[in-house]
Structure 1
Amino acid sequence: MSHALFDLTGRLALVTGSSQGIGYALAKGLAEAGAKVVLNGRDTGRLANAQRTLASHGLKTEIAAFDVTDPDAVEAGIAGIEQAHGPLHILVANAGINLRAPSVDMPPETWRKVMSVNVDGVWFCCQAAGKRMVHRGRGKIITICSVQSELGRPTIAPYASSKGALRMLTRTLCAEWAKHGVNVNGVAPGYYDTELTSALVQDPTFTDWLCKRVPAGRWGKVEELVGATVFLAAPASDFVHGHLLYVDGGMTAVV
């Protein structure tokens, strides 16, 4: 019985930004839990590489390449997924970027680019998938938020603002869609060792600060986000709505 609560067999899942890093790890974890997973990104070559790597682990996945910042492309992409594979049961809105600069020097184009991917892109995907789920009376949407949904840090004003916005988008969609059988929740990672953070991981000063700041005393591993994501995608979380699940080594729990 307890196994069935986390079984995703027969469920169709779309994971945006899943050619590498956190998105790839989550796609792999959902597939291992039984879901049929569709990988998404803009670069078909990188998606094909991810698909081949997953196949080497015995996991079959599909590919849908589209730009999450283009609402027409998102709508066409999700419509195409459903036409080819059936109803979408799970959306993991993971695609995101971070561009750094001191706030006094932040160019308008940098601000707009981060917000376009991290907020607009998530919104377009949630809307396109969510309206279909609402119509069917069933679905799971998981936004990938951050400790920066709660905490500020110098030089990342657009990123922190975008992740704070996702926190409230998650809650607002919960307020609208929970009564229609659609669960909207968020996973909020702390600091993880990925391709995008490799420079920080290799910076001894930053890593020393991080290990002292995080109660767990280390960087996270992307595989450690899988359990939370599977939980929020599975029947085990059917009465969980509008929740942000921090997987951060305790970072947001302490001063």
Structure 2
Amino acid sequence: MARHAALPRPARRELQDMTQAPPVGTALFSLAGKTALVTGAVRGLGLEIARGFAQAGATLIVHGRQPADVAQAVQQLADEGLHAHGVAFDLNDHARVAQALDELQAAHGPIHVLCNNAGVRDRRGLQALSMADVQRVIDTNLIATVHLCQAYLARLPAGCAASILNITSLQGQLMRDADFAYPISKQGVETMTRAIAVEYGPKGVRCNAIAPGSFATAFNAQLLDKPENQARLQRNPLRRWGQPHEIVGPALFLVSDAASYVNGVTLTLDGGYGMSF
């Protein structure tokens, strides 16, 4: 029987470089020395992610649409011993987005982590929505996110390793009755995530996403208590909804050096709901 030719052995120096052990423990997840911008970070999952990034040592920039909401979130973090900067602008105002990014870069240097969390929802079916209603959801959740990424990447200095994290939704993958526009917008963000990962990976930029299922945020509390949603809970293998703080670990993993070889992935965070029937 013919023997396969042996594969060439890599030079010892190259092998050592490829297998060099990374930092271990909390250092692997540290964001010290990095600047992070989180959009829609004044409440809910966005605020939880922002808090986690600050705790990991990032220079944190909290974004919201209303200045008063941003100031309140920054103060809340300060009361917890965490330092954050705030910025307020409407993501649909593309001229203001560009101006804000220029201002932030001038003040803080390159932004190493961009977390796109801001979004809107309209829980109605197709026939209940006007085209203006659909356009509003698509514009805010998808088009504004595309534009922010475009403007952000255009300003990123060459050779600057960066990470983009998009917060999509389980409903970008699974449909529900009478919730037409939101899943379309979130599936678009998942596709955009892969497109950026492929195009900008060679430039040292990683792009990943998290698709949360049902989380017990203050905004969702009344919805999750409805009988039909309590029945849905039995489909979840963990038999509970996600707690807001449980998004922090996955988010921190994906933007940190711990995930340095993870690119173009959407991590579903739903307790197993989407795989159970």
**What interval of TM-score do these two structures reach, taking the shorter chain for normalisation?**
over 0.9
Higher mean C-alpha deviation, range 104-113 or range 238-247:
104-113
Residue 151 of structure 1 pairs with residue 174 of structure 2: yes
Q: How does 1:68-217 map to 2 (within 5 A)?
A: 68-133=91-156, 135-203=158-226, 205-217=227-239
Give the CA deviation at 1:11: 0.6
Give the CA deviation at 1:162: 0.5
Identity percentage over the alignment?
33
Partner of 1:246: 268
Higher mean C-alpha deviation, range 125-134 or range 213-222:
125-134
Q: For 2:89, which of 63, 66, 82 is the aligned residue?
A: 66
Partner of 2:251: 229
Structure showing greater radius of gyration is 2
In structure 2, relative to structure 1, the CA distance for the partners of 1:199 and 1:107 (3 Å cut) is: farther
SS of equivalent residue, structure 2 residue 122:
coil
Is the 1:210–1:219 contact (alpha carbons within 8 Å) kept by the matching residues of 2?
A: no
Counting helix residues as a fraction of each chain, which structure ranks higher? 1
Counterpart CA distance in 2 for 1:128 and 1:198 is 35
Give the CA deviation at 1:136: 3.4
Counterpart CA distance in 1 for 2:76 and 2:160 is 35
In structure 2, relative to structure 1, the CA distance for the partners of 1:137 and 1:10 (3 Å cut) is: closer
Is the 1:200–1:206 contact (alpha carbons within 8 Å) kept by the matching residues of 2?
A: no
Is the 2:60–2:84 contact (alpha carbons within 8 Å) kept by the matching residues of 1?
A: yes
Is the 1:210–1:217 contact (alpha carbons within 8 Å) kept by the matching residues of 2?
A: no
Is the 1:185–1:232 contact (alpha carbons within 8 Å) kept by the matching residues of 2?
A: yes
In structure 2, relative to structure 1, the CA distance for the partners of 1:115 and 1:134 (3 Å cut) is: farther
SS of equivalent residue, structure 1 residue 168:
helix
Higher mean C-alpha deviation, range 211-220 or range 162-171:
211-220
Gaps of 5+ in 1: none
Q: Deviations over 1:48-88 (max 9, x none)?
A: 11111100110000011111112111111111111011110
Q: Deviations over 1:10-34 (max 9, x none)?
A: 1100000011111111000110011
TM-score normalized by the length of structure 2: 0.89
Counterpart CA distance in 2 for 1:79 and 1:136 is 18
Q: Deviations over 1:110-152 (max 9, x none)?
A: 1111111100121122112222336334100000011112111
Partner of 2:33: 10
Supply the RMSD in Å over aligned alpha carbons.
1.2
Q: Deviations over 1:190-244 (max 9, x none)?
A: 00112331320232x1331231121111111110000011011101111111000
In structure 2, relative to structure 1, the CA distance for the partners of 1:134 and 1:213 (3 Å cut) is: farther
Q: Deviations over 1:146-189 (max 9, x none)?
A: 11121111111110000110110000111100011000000110
Residue 37 of structure 1 pairs with residue 54 of structure 2: no
Is the 1:99–1:156 contact (alpha carbons within 8 Å) kept by the matching residues of 2?
A: yes
Counterpart CA distance in 2 for 1:206 and 1:17 is 28
Higher mean C-alpha deviation, range 69-78 or range 37-46:
69-78
